[in-house]
Amino acid sequence: MTDSVSRRQLLRAAAGAAVVLPLVGSLGCAAPSRRVTKGRLRHGAVGCGGMGGHDLSQISDHPDVDVVALCDVDANNLKAAAALHPDARLYSDWREMLAAEDGALDSVHVSIPDHMHGPVMVEALNRNLHVYGQKPLTRTVSELRAVVNAARRAGVATQMGIQNRANPPYLQAYQLFLQGHIGKVHEVHVWTDRPMGWWPQGVGRPEQVDPVPEELDWDLWLGVAPERPFAASSYHPFAWRGWKDFGTGAQGDMACHLMDPALWFLELGRPNRLRSDGPLPNNETYPLWSRIHMEYAATKHTTAGPLQLTWYDGGRKPDAVLEEWGAGPDVYANACLFIGTEGALLASPYDTARLLPEDRFVDVPLPAAEKFNHWHDWVDGCLGRGVPNAPFEYAATLSESALLGNVALHFPHETLEYDGEALRFAGRPEADALLYPNYRKGFQLPG
């Protein structure tokens, strides 16, 4: 094994993980069967502001992409995107765009609030479009199944926006893991500083009712969610993440980035047991912090017995564990810590990978790593030039852990036994109900 992780090595690793993590049946990670004509990708944007604008800029920067359609419920976002892509046709309703552009599009990206991911992705996949979707893949677990099954039927290239896996810190951590320094893993801790100061959580519904801005189609923004009055600065454009009707909180925002190494390196499937030690959410938002314990079936990379993973958000960390391994309480604000039989590995998307305790590994060099473009990797997959590194088969399993953590929040200090194949919790129909969405009339999709 060389000291450098290449893009091709990462793709092989990600594809291998996808083979062992199917949601339904056994698809593996085959190359997409849908072909793009004339070697150019005709792309449409569903979401042009915020992360949607960033996704659009990265995808359109590929030399073989033509942006032909833009859609956003906010006219200001649409105007800004149209200035960069003046030949694109403009829409405010994604349903109208997909219908009007049928046959004129090869692909879309879906970069909008979490509650609308599933409906838009399923409709796009049913039209045999290649799809790049933001994380988490959907807002509820049952929607994950619908999206993955639609992708399998379509035979298209899919990718979830977990671009950190294409950056050197994670590639270096992965190489250190493959070198076997820490032995078999028996415990993982994952933490984030979200939502502290990023968006509101632990609050009730705003009392004020504000006029809807002229540029915003509030009904389309609500989409499948229940109707509620507009409140300035409370939902659009970014604060929606903490609201249960629209977002998935700190876990939905960051677990898909920070738990990614755990599922990727260890080739984990779904958790089969969960327990929340944190506060109960209120009716409107997720709590200010959480600590979720999850158990996964053992793999070839772990010790015998279930793998223990603990998630922390709201600035909580495994302080005692970090002190034991010599990392200290001020270590990285967002990270994944692997505890093995021979040592520990600290992986962060924003900071240097570290083997712990450091005095035991002073002679181990930090591997070189070759960064690649996560968005272009998907475009190349659409064009038949390989397999994307974070396809929906894998992304759905990763997203499921985050979404199940949010279910566990509603049953604090209770161990939930989860049957992922049957999509149910043993003896807990109240928890089962949280696996499914309730779509507003007029926005339902078949099935």
Structural domains in the chain, CATH included, are 22-164+375-390 (3.40.50.720)
> In what helix (H) or strand (E) does residue 257 lie, and over which residues does it extend?
helix 256-258
Residue 384: the pLDDT is: 95
For the segment 252-270, the average pLDDT, to the nearest whole number, is 98
Strand partners, 311: 190, 292
20 pLDDT band, cuts 50/70/90, is very low
What does 160-191 look like in DSSP terms, one character per residue?
A: ES-GGGGSHHHHHHHHHHHTTTT-SEEEEEEE
Which among 282, 306, 252 has a CA at the least distance from the CA of 415? 306
Which among 151, 44, 150 has a CA at the least distance from the CA of 97? 44
- 168-178 and 7-20 are packed helices; what angle lies between their axes, rounded to 10 degrees? 70
For the segment 212-216, the average pLDDT, to the nearest whole number, is 98
pTM of the predicted model as reported, rounded to 2 decimal places? 0.92
The residue behind tokens 């600590």 is: 291
**Model pLDDT for residues 377-411, shown as the tens digit of each residue:** 999 999 999 999 999 999 999 999 999 999 999 99
Residue 329: the pLDDT is: 74
Question: What is the biggest distance separating any 2 CA atoms in the chain, rounded to whole angstroms?
Answer: 63
Of the candidate ranges 144-148, 196-200, 425-429, the one whose mean pLDDT is the lowest: 196-200
Question: For strand 41-46 and strand 4-5, is the pairing parallel, antiparallel, or unpaired?
Answer: unpaired
Which among 387, 381, 445 has a CA at the least distance from the CA of 130? 381
CA separation for the pair 347, 171 (Å, rounded): 9
Question: For strand 185-191 and strand 335-340, is the pairing parallel, antiparallel, or unpaired?
Answer: antiparallel
